Structure 1
């Protein structure tokens, strides 16, 4: 099932991940050609050193998202300097629930401005949001030129849900892409999310997904 690899951001964001774990991920990328590997900012230089032309995703203000805008900007600039191609930035969930349009719009716009040609994804943590919240924040992201809305960090009570991906697709098709992440651990589930509208799958189980065999 190697064809599905092009949809997968193969991920290791474990708190206890080591340099050897990241080098192993790089070797997997060399062999299987996932869309990217997604790693912590502190390991970007390790990955880049071991494979110069690798496509790298990293996370900003992960996993809680409540750092100040200035702190997120600093992290984003540092990640770009260290070789990140994609930046997956955790949104300020409290501000979403407050419907603080001014804060959210300014933060998204500021991060879009400094990331320029890099791919920008905002994690909205759908497990904390109702449909109105999802509609609200995704509209802000689309208005400010964000490339992807990402469902989840995978560090909360639940991850991606098909219903949420379908909802975003129905309301924002052609305006913003979707990365489904959190709890996607097998081929059939990954395919369901792609069929529902996900453009990218974030998972630490990429090997299991691409090595799936029909029984």
Structure 2
């Protein structure tokens, strides 16, 4: 198994979050891109403002590395128009994967119509441009029933509105890795949450993000059926090391 082809090497911190200057944070992003090229990872996942830079570096290196970015990150509370505008800009800059944060708070509050509309509209946009679309449901913010319901909702929207050939390009993704939990509870992918997602999102693929901290954990996720893993420690995991990073 080539585990590197399952790994989305991720750097999503702002300079403030990382405790760095803007110049230092820019260097961190570029180093992540270069490392992903060198190591042969599937994709590099970065914030939208760095997509154009990533495209330039990848083209210069004659690499096949994919570029992923996050939309309406990390809370997912923006209106549909804002999500679409941000996604269109990312597409123009060269993004291959669009990881939308689902408006999970609206879902929890019962505004299912809004959630359905944003999933349909944004997925239509991504697929129309031959992009991979992922819907981040933020499992740490949901209870078990909500994880099941939201995974099923996304699946049903895709099955009802798109062709079977499109299913592999629409993922349900566990987490942003930035959700604040209390009492040391996990804020990312857990085995129980991933199992619920796999059971209820199928035939859509699932991406485990946040909380995968070792090679063995990554292998376990893959054996369960996960198709992609988002991690800021891709090299450490691929090298068989453990990491304490939270996303």
Residue equivalent to 1:207: 235
Aligned-pair distance for 1:166?
1.0
Aligned-pair distance for 1:197?
2.1
State whether residues 39 and 58 of structure 1, in contact with CA within 8 Å, keep that contact through their aligned partners in structure 2.
yes
Matched, 1:40 2:47: yes
Deviations 1:100-154 (A, max 9, x none): 2211111111101211221000100001112221122112211232710110000
Count of residues paired in the alignment: 212
Matched, 1:128 2:141: yes
Q: Alignment RMSD, CA only?
A: 1.7
State whether residues 207 and 226 of structure 2, in contact with CA within 8 Å, keep that contact through their aligned partners in structure 1.
yes
Aligned-pair distance for 1:24?
1.1
Work out the CA distance in 2 between the residues paired with 1:112 and 1:83.
Answer: 17
Choose between structure 1 and 2 for higher RCO, CA contacts under 8 A separated by at least 6 residues. 1
The correspondence for 2:188, drawn from 159, 182, 200, is 159
Aligned-pair distance for 1:170?
2.3
Residue equivalent to 2:88: 77
Aligned-pair distance for 1:31?
1.4
The correspondence for 1:142, drawn from 147, 155, 169, is 155
Secondary structure at the residue paired with 2:45? strand
Secondary structure at the residue paired with 2:33? helix
TM-score normalized by structure 2?
A: 0.81
Residue equivalent to 2:6: 7
State whether residues 48 and 54 of structure 1, in contact with CA within 8 Å, keep that contact through their aligned partners in structure 2.
no
Work out the CA distance in 2 between the residues paired with 1:23 and 1:167.
Answer: 35
Deviations 1:44-92 (A, max 9, x none): 1111111124310000010111011110000000000000000111011
Work out the CA distance in 2 between the residues paired with 1:74 and 1:5.
Answer: 32
Residue equivalent to 1:178: 206
TM-score normalized by structure 1?
A: 0.93
